[in-house]
Structure 1
Amino acid sequence: MAEKTSETSSRKRKFGRDQASEITSTCANNRGSSANDGGQPNWVLDQALKKASRAAQRAA
């Protein structure tokens, strides 16, 4: 594995954080709507959020 430069890894970390915050805010916005009016049920959003935050942590 090649040595990562600190610039590359910090850019990846920033990208991971940006993705995580964007997904978090999307989930929070959708949380108000129920499955009946076309929104995802909360447990689906929670699972998506968990997956996204784990992926972001791996990228960090």
Structure 2
Amino acid sequence: MKSIAIIGIDLAKNIFQIHGTDNKGRRVLIKRVKRSNLLNFFAWRRPIHFSQAEERIGDEA
């Protein structure tokens, strides 16, 4: 597997969509993971830094 530089997670109630890109911004991972398997999915990967970005849709005044 190619090296993943950035991971994005589309949060949902039971299924998470995970996107990974390399250092050049190329998509190297797209995966759907059940909530119950999320920790197992990341357990075997090298340590990475997580941050949270919040996007608000429909909050216009």
Above 0.5 in TM-score?
no
Task: Give the strand-richer structure, 1 or 2.
Answer: 2
- Greater Rg over alpha carbons, structure: 1
TM-score of the superposed pair, with normalisation by structure 1: 0.29
- Higher helix fraction: Structure 1 or Structure 2? 1
Could you say which structure has the greater relative contact order, defined with CA pairs below 8 angstroms and 6 or more residues apart? 1
